[in-house]
Amino acid sequence: MSRRGNRHANAVAERFFNRLKRACIQRRTHTTREEARQDVFAHIDMFYNSVRKHVRNEMLLPVEFERQQVLKAEGV
């Protein structure tokens, strides 16, 4: 691990949080912490995990990739 504050040390996490900030945190003002929490979780659950295709998953949606892995494990 490189020194603290080096954005290249954890590029994947930095990219995720950058997208999260642009998508839901900077676009609106949350009146409560609970409202902000729900907005972040909704973004992760609805967009990031089911709509966004991932290069490492052969350009499949994460949900579809997981489904295929379950089918392979079951021998279908």
The pLDDT assigned to 32 comes to 92
The string of pLDDT tens digits covering residues 11-25 is 777 888 888 888 777
Task: List the one residue out of 17, 39, 41 whose CA is nearest residue 29.
Answer: 39
The string of pLDDT tens digits covering residues 22-75 is 877 777 888 999 998 998 888 887 776 677 777 778 888 888 888 898 999 988
The pLDDT assigned to 54 comes to 74
pTM: predicted TM-score of the whole model, two decimal places: 0.49
